[in-house]
Amino acid sequence: MMAWINTLLQGVMLGGLYALFAAGLSLMFGIMRLVNLAHGDFIVLSAFVVLVLMSALGLDPFLATLLAAPALYGLGYALQHYLLNQTIGRDILPPLLVTFGLSIIIQNGLLEVFSADSQRLKAGAIETSSISLGGGIALGTIQLLTLVSAIGVILALNLILYRTELGRAFRATSDDPEIAQLMGIDNRHIFSLATAIAMVVIAVSALYLGMRANFDPTIGPARLLYAFEAVIIGGLGSLWGTLAGGIIIGVAQAVGAKIDPEWQILAGHLAFLAVLVLRPRGLFPRAGQ
Amino acid sequence: MALLETHGLTAFYGDFQALYGIDLRLEEGETLAIIGANGAGKSTFLKTVVGLLAAAPESVTFCGRPIGGLAAPEIVRLGISLVPEGRRLFPSLSVEENLTIGAYGRRDGAYWSLERIYELFPALDARRYAPSHTLSGGEQQMAAIGRALMANPRVLLCDEVSLGLAPIVIRNIYAALPRIKASGASIIVVEQDIVQALQVANRVYCFQEGRMSLEGRPEELSRDQIHAAYFGA
């Protein structure tokens, strides 16, 4: 019994990581209807940026991420402003092709610079520390922090979306880009800010990706897949749904692994397919549309 | 100098030409009506003036300044607001948020505030926190007009505000026009309802297949003239 409760808790915390992966994707899709196929690769790229800052300045991963975040914010703005805005229009194919190309460029660029060696963001003692809940159940500190950060990130994004003038502009542009312009909203600027914010979320994802496990330049696309599944399970456009989606995949994987370690990945995908069959629009589709 | 003028304004949707040289003049304090059959280019004209469709710089002037081809957000900042055909409120925003976002690109010297909009359209006051898609058609139209007013326009363009509404609702909406004029806005209404248009307008323009077919004061125009200009002789 205790072992199953433990499995469940580990799954929920793993789900926090998937929700972090998915939050940035969900934000960009929600506002621009832009599917960023390079999302996973941007997470890996960000992890390398954090790694470089750590080794160059001798920082711990948290401080390095704090330092990397503004730079990635700027990168996100520039990426949208100079490249992705040119691809957005009635046709959804151009952004898919361009971000697919970016995915390949980032992977190969990282391979060229950092080689295929596995890397890790070493966090010191916190890596092995845990909080005991009694009954033989212990939560890893980093695992718990991942979930808390995911909730924090989604809370923050919801505050931006529903409590600020910028958030109102985000939602209006997402509803009707043509009319949004008539309000004096410069769509392209709004889109660039959305990607910039998504890049900060990506930086947070990269921090936990790198602290929890090894990474190398090629693992991006698999993270994209989990992120995608979490977004779809949750229902497009709902950030809390995205958190729920991440947790469902995390729990499914943990339960699958408990039954047979080979089933871990498969169980996550099966949970995704089950939700698609039962609730094709996801668990929390956006109302009013 | 007129407040807003167009000179030989043309507009295209891809290869299709929708406007063939429109010359129109709106004086400060005036209310103009543009009438014409479906597909005459009335909505296209408004969309071109607000910058949603491309135009040559000199073909639209605002206070004598060429504004043709400016981006839509810049034009709303100069003081030209559009109430779009079909209202097009933002469905994921509440009524009050729809009004508030209208002030995103507002001019200085603000006359319109949320309170004044609710005074103008008391029906909206009770629904301020409702999702905009739950409003009735008339309330939606009021919200769409309020949203455009929140930018404090000097020129308010209204595209088919009576479309699909009951006569009593239409009267309510048109009853707001004097207050809107008193706030310092000049108005262009596009209407299929000719009677309504002739009642409110100082001058009327009739469009036919992308060209201006008639211009004049309502009292100077005969039924036959309007009929010919509307349907083609």
Using a 10 angstrom Cβ sphere, with 0-12 exposed, 13-18 middle and 19 or more buried, the burial of residue B14 is: exposed
pLDDT tens by residue, B68-125? 999 999 999 999 999 999 999 999 899 999 999 999 977 666 789 999 999 999 999 9
Is B60 a domain residue?
A: yes
**Are the beta carbons of A183 and B82 separated by less than 8 Å?**
no
Q: Which residues contact B7 (CB under 8 A, 6 or more apart)?
A: B23, B58, B59, B60, B61
Find the residue in A nearest to B152 (Cα).
Answer: A183
- Does B73 contact A288 at a Cβ distance shorter than 8 Å? no
Task: Answer yes or no: are the C-beta atoms of B160 and B170 closer than 8 Å.
Answer: no
Domain of residue B27, residue span: 4-89+154-231
Q: Do B151 and A183 touch (CB under 8 A)?
A: yes
**Is A182 close to B104, i.e. CB distance below 8 A?**
no
Q: What is the DSSP letter of B94?
A: B
- Of the candidates A192, A198, A190, the residue with the CA atom closest to the CA atom of residue A153: A198
Give the residue numbers in A contacting B (CB under 8 Å), as ranges. 165, 168-169, 171-172, 174-176, 178-186, 286-289
Band of pLDDT at residue A288, cut at 50, 70 and 90: very low
Dihedral sign for Cα atoms in the order B82, B102, B177, B78 = negative
pLDDT at B233: 62
Flag whether B41 is in a domain.
Answer: yes
For A118-238, where are the alpha helices, taking DSSP H only? 141-163, 165-175, 177-182, 187-212, 220-234
Q: Which of B100, B79, B84, B90 is nearest to B28 (CA)?
A: B79
What b/e sequence results for A204-230 when a residue is b if at least 16 CB atoms lie within 10 Å of its CB, and e otherwise? bbbbbbbbbeebbbebbbebbbbbbbb
Residue A184: which of B91, B105, B133 has the nearest Cβ? Answer: B105
**A to B CB pairs, distance under 8 Å:** 69
What mean pLDDT comes out for the span A85-100?
93
Q: Span B33-37, mean pLDDT?
A: 93
Q: Determine the distance in angstroms separating the CA of B91 from the nearest CA of chain A, rounded to an integer.
A: 7
Whether the per-residue pLDDT at A287 is higher than 60: the answer is no
The 8-class DSSP code of residue B215 comes to E
Tell me the C-alpha to C-alpha distance, in Å, between residue A54 and each of A69, A200, A201, B6. 13, 18, 19, 61
Question: In the numeric block, which tokens belong to residue A15?
Answer: 């789900």
DSSP B155-192: EEEEESTTTT--HHHHHHHHTTHHHHHHTT-EEEEEES
- Would residue B49 count as lying in a domain? yes
d(CA B43, CA B208): 12
What does the alpha-carbon distance between residue B91 and residue B94 come to, in Å, rounded to a whole number?
8
pLDDT in tens, A117-131: 999 999 999 988 999
Q: What are the Cα distances from residue A35, in Å, to A39, A106, A173, A226, A236? A: 9, 17, 16, 14, 11
% residues pLDDT > 70 (chain A): 99
Whether B200 is covered by a domain: the verdict is yes
Q: Which residue does chain B place closest to A178, by CA atoms?
A: B52
pLDDT at position A173 over 50: yes
Nearest to A172 among B81, B101, B151 (CB): B101
Residues in contact with B87: Cβ distance below 8 Å, sequence separation at least 6, in sequence order? B137, B140, B141, B143, B144
CATH of the domain at B65: 3.40.50.300
Q: Which of B21, B70, B211, B112 shows the shortest CA–CA distance to B62?
A: B70
Q: What is the pLDDT of residue A236?
A: 81
Domain membership of residue B172 (yes or no) is yes
CB B132 within 8 A of CB B143: yes
User: pLDDT digit string (tens) for B122-150?
Assistant: 999 999 999 999 999 999 999 999 999 99
Q: Please give the share of chain B, as a percent, with pLDDT higher than 70.
A: 98
- List chain A residues with CB under 8 Å of B73: 181, 183-186
Which tens digits make up the pLDDT trace of A26-80? 999 999 989 999 999 999 999 999 999 999 999 999 999 999 999 999 999 999 9
Residue A276 in this model has a pLDDT that exceeds 50: yes
The amino acid present at B115, given as its one-letter code, is E
Rounded distance between C-alpha atoms, residue A49 and residue A200, angstroms = 13
Calpha distance B156→A181 (Å, rounded): 16
Contact A182 B50 (CB under 8 A): yes
pTM beyond 0.95: no
Number of domains in chain B: 1
Q: Which residue does chain A place closest to B48, by CA atoms?
A: A182
Q: Is the pLDDT of residue A286 over 90?
A: no
Residues of B near A (Cβ–Cβ under 8 Å) read 50-52, 71-73, 76-77, 81-82, 84, 88, 90-93, 97, 100-102, 104-106, 131, 133, 147-148, 151
CA–CA separation, B149 vs B119, rounded Å?
13
Contact B91 A185 (CB under 8 A): no
Question: How far is C-alpha A98 from the geometric centre of its chain's CA atoms?
Answer: 19
Kindly list the residues from chain B whose CB atom is less than 8 angstroms away from the CB atom of residue A286: 92
Q: Give the model's confidence band at A289: pLDDT under 50 very low, under 70 low, under 90 confident, else very high.
A: very low
Query: How far off is chain A from B75, nearest CA to CA, in Å?
Result: 8
Residues 6+ apart with CB under 8 A from B182: none
B162 near B151, Cβ under 8 Å?
A: no
- Interchain proximity A183–B101, CB inside 8 Å: yes
Round to whole Å and give the CA distance between A34 and A95.
7
CB contact under 8 A, A185 and B105: yes
